[in-house]
Amino acid sequence: MSEVLTKSTARNIFYGGSLFFFVIFVGLTAHSRHYILTKGTDNAGLTESVERGKRVWERNACFDCHTLHGEGARFAPEVGDVFRRWGGEKDPAGAHQMIKDWMKAQPSGAQGRRQMPQFNLTEAQLDDLADYLAWVSRTNTQGWPPRPKAN
Amino acid sequence: MQYQTQNIAKTYWLGALLIFAVQVSFGLVGGLIYIAPNLLPVEYFPFNMVRMIHTNALIVWLLLGFFGAAYYLIPEESEREIWSPKLAYVQFAIFFLGGLSAVVGYLFHIYADNARSYLEQPVWIKLGIIVAALIFLLNISMTVLQGRKTAITNVLLLGLWGIAIFFLFSLYNPANTSEDKMFWWYVVHLWVEGTWELVMASVLAFLMLKITGVDREVIEKWLYIIIATALFSGILGTGHHYYWIGAPGYWQWIGSIFSSLEVVPFFGMMIFCFAMVWKGRRDHPNKAAMIWSLGCSVLAFFGAGVWGFLHTLHGINFYTHGTQVTAAHGHLAFYGAYVCLNLAIMTYAFPYLFNRAPYNQVLNIASFWITSAGVVFMTVSLTFAGALGTHLERVQGMSYMDAQDQIGLFYLLRFGGGVVTVLGALLFISSLLLMPRTKTVVTGAIPAAAE
């Protein structure tokens, strides 16, 4: 083995190979970025309100309980598709209002149930957040999450 | 201890151990909220704050541990003192106070704009981390450049530079969530499944060199082979995070293939460590350090390797993504690969730093078995929670909260594992702080059924 592969050969394979794979990776992410901004997401519909909503989501560390497109903590439900689950495709105004009402009604105080804090958001912040959740629900997530019909 | 400046490691590691205690304590609080959601008032202990402290404290103390490891092993490898001890302490002050103030801020619900998971730090703390990293890199690069160059320092330096460079992506937070997520993984994945593995492999190589006495040429050749498999698989393996976030579908194939191969470096490290110990001629008195090193390689293989592979294929990940399966994998992977690594190098170095060799290792060895048993039990509990939750929610179509109610038993078991883990961690910390002297070297300390 020591004759077949010396330390310096191993080192050169490491440097050369890593560089090779890293260049491919950077190329693919550049392509993916283009795809995300043109096809994967509704980038044209990314209004200022949606962006402000994203900042509300970040500022209040919502991802430290909820998942969004499956990423974040698993303490609370997925919200990437909450707008659709709450009927936003047929009745966008209704789902928008439901999200705002939900936020205002927390914490529920129900015994034995996980509690969501009251974030005391303003009306404008609640509108932005609902717009943001509507926007993420339009992302092409390759069919994820699976939502089988309950029997 | 051959070099005076190796003492710098003491400060870093004592700081790391303090934050380690904070990290596991908040883990326990998080586990408690799962099983008794009404016990702690949500105004003061919302779960998001608890998780933020748990994960951020983890990262801060592991990095402090890596810095300490670098300050400890680089003088021995480079055969010279650290370039500037003063800068090393300035760096510690910035990093430690930055990390601590972020954590204390979270406690009072001072969250930051542009927070993302693991990157919740306010921007001024992120900039402080970058300044500290630059001071660190300058200091160790100058030391290495002026001294003997070895593969171990070479790889360690590359890993530490990579950690700093990829952290810069934490400052980039575009408005488009999918683009944000893609570059967020440039920090998170390319850290733990890339650059951190370089640190891990080089520190393990150093430990094997010292503990087993195997020839440096052999160890360093294997070091390059192992890290080559780590980066060849790990870089494109990032694709396993791009399946469902709005990125193109081709990542399902690229991610599945390359991330499946991420098992290889962990398998390699495990075989490497055991082969070196068998081959080694030296009967090193620090059995505890040997157990932590071997334990690190085994638990990293299971946690990062096997538990990662369990849900990395896109056909499986479609169902398990965003469930407790991820949490199970995360706990054992971080513990095996990076917690054990830090505790191994600390266990190896503390007797030299405090001039206590030989010392009574019974407490330390007991803490390895207790902590590891606790983490493994948590992992198994969460795996059951994840598998059952996946079935109920993603196959049968039950709603999230209804499915969660069905798996409460496993959260109770996880909490039990967590209690054992915290006790083990506290035992480890006190074993290093006490380090009772002994005349006799512990023999037969490695149980026959080590794995």
How much is the pLDDT for A3? 65
Q: For the segment A24-56, what is each residue's pLDDT rounded down to a tens digit?
A: 999 999 999 999 999 999 999 999 999 999 999
In this predicted structure, the answer to whether residue B233 has a pLDDT above a threshold of 70 is yes
CB contact under 8 A, B231 and A146: no
- Inside any domain, residue B34: yes
- For chain B, the average pLDDT equals 94
Closest-CA distance, B317 to chain A, in angstroms, reads 10
How much is the pLDDT for A150? 65
In whole angstroms, give the CA distance from residue B58 to residue B414: 19
The total of other beta-carbon atoms located within 10 Å of residue B93's CB is 12
- Inside any domain, residue B224: no
- The rounded percent of chain B whose pLDDT value lies above 70 is 97
- Whether the CB of A44 is below 8 Å from some CB of chain B: the reply is no
R_g over Cα of chain A: 22
CB contact under 8 A, B247 and A32: yes
Write the CATH number for B116. Answer: 1.20.120
CB interface of A with B, residues 62-121, below 8 Å? 62-65, 67-78, 107, 109, 111-118
Q: For the segment B111-154, what is each residue's pLDDT rounded down to a tens digit?
A: 999 999 999 999 999 999 999 999 999 999 999 999 999 999 99
Structure confidence at residue B438 as a pLDDT band (50, 70, 90): low
Record the tokens describing residue B21, joined without a space.
């205690």
Q: Where are the strands (E) in B174-314, listed by range?
A: none
- Domain housing B37: 1-141
- Inside any domain, residue B77: yes
Which residue of A58, A111, A116, A149 is the best one to mutate when testing the B interface, meaning the one whose CB has the most B CBs within 10 A? Answer: A58
> Which residues, 6 or more positions from B60, have their beta carbon under 8 angstroms from its beta carbon?
B19, B95, B99, B102, B103
CB contact under 8 A, B176 and A41: yes
Helix runs in A2-151, H state only: 7-35, 48-59, 82-85, 92-104, 123-136
In this predicted structure, the answer to whether residue B445 has a pLDDT above a threshold of 80 is no
- Alpha carbon of A54 to those of A49, A98, A130, A133: distances in Å? 9, 18, 10, 9
Nearest CA in chain B to A6: B221
Structure confidence at residue B451 as a pLDDT band (50, 70, 90): very low
Closest-CA distance, B51 to chain A, in angstroms, reads 6
**Between A and B, how many residue pairs show a Cβ–Cβ distance under 8 A?**
220
CB contact under 8 A, B177 and A51: no
Q: For the segment A114-124, what is each residue's pLDDT rounded down to a tens digit?
A: 999 999 999 99
Query: How many structural domains is chain B composed of?
Result: 1
How much is the pLDDT for A49? 98
A64, A144, A149 ranked by CB distance to B321: nearest? A144
In this predicted structure, the answer to whether residue B446 has a pLDDT above a threshold of 80 is no
How much is the pLDDT for B356? 83
- Inside any domain, residue B135: yes
- Inside any domain, residue B273: no
Q: Which amino acid is at B393?
A: E
Could you tell me if residue B114 is left (phi over 0), alpha (psi between -120 and 50 degrees) or otherwise beta?
left
R_g over Cα of chain B: 21
The total of other beta-carbon atoms located within 10 Å of residue A127's CB is 18
Q: For the segment B307-319, what is each residue's pLDDT rounded down to a tens digit?
A: 999 999 999 999 9
- The rounded percent of chain B whose pLDDT value lies above 90 is 92
- Alpha carbon of B406 to those of A108, A150, B14, B433: distances in Å? 20, 15, 42, 43
- Inside any domain, residue B113: yes
In this predicted structure, the answer to whether residue B334 has a pLDDT above a threshold of 70 is yes
Closest-CA distance, A46 to chain B, in angstroms, reads 7
Q: Which residues of B touch A142 (CB under 8 A)?
A: 243-244, 249, 252
Q: Show the CA angle centred on residue B244, arms to residues B237 and A91, nearest 5°.
A: 170
CB contact under 8 A, B396 and A60: no
- Map tokens 């909490």 to a residue: B415
CB contact under 8 A, A144 and B318: yes
**Beta bridge pairs of residue A67:** A72
Q: Which residues of A touch B238 (CB under 8 A)?
A: 25
Closest-CA distance, A93 to chain B, in angstroms, reads 22
| Residues B108, B100 contacting (CB under 8 angstroms) | no
| Residues A75, B51 contacting (CB under 8 angstroms) | yes
| Residues B200, B266 contacting (CB under 8 angstroms) | no
CB contact under 8 A, A73 and B321: no
The total of other beta-carbon atoms located within 10 Å of residue B127's CB is 13
Which of A132-141, B228-237, B356-365, B409-418 is the least confident region?
Answer: B356-365
CB contact under 8 A, B232 and A7: no
Q: Which residues of B touch A35 (CB under 8 A)?
A: 247-248
- Inside any domain, residue B93: yes
More confident residue, B202 or B448: B202
In this predicted structure, the answer to whether residue B81 has a pLDDT above a threshold of 50 is yes
CB contact under 8 A, A139 and B177: yes
Q: Which amino acid is at B203?
A: V
In whole angstroms, give the CA distance from residue B424 to residue B371: 4
Which residue of B49, B176, B185, B382 is the best one to mutate when testing the A interface, meaning the one whose CB has the most A CBs within 10 A? Answer: B176
- Whether the CB of A149 is below 8 Å from some CB of chain B: the reply is yes
Q: For the segment B20-34, what is each residue's pLDDT rounded down to a tens digit?
A: 999 999 999 999 999
Which residue of A24, A65, A75 is the best one to mutate when testing the B interface, meaning the one whose CB has the most B CBs within 10 A? Answer: A75
- Inside any domain, residue B427: no
In whole angstroms, give the CA distance from residue B187 to residue A121: 30
CB contact under 8 A, B48 and A78: no
In this predicted structure, the answer to whether residue B449 has a pLDDT above a threshold of 80 is no
- State mean pLDDT over B190-208: 96
- State mean pLDDT over B199-224: 95
Nearest CA in chain A to B244: A141
How much is the pLDDT for B444? 43
Which of A1-10, A63-72, B11-20 is the least confident region?
Answer: A1-10
Which residue of B195, B221, B242 is the best one to mutate when testing the A interface, meaning the one whose CB has the most A CBs within 10 A? Answer: B221
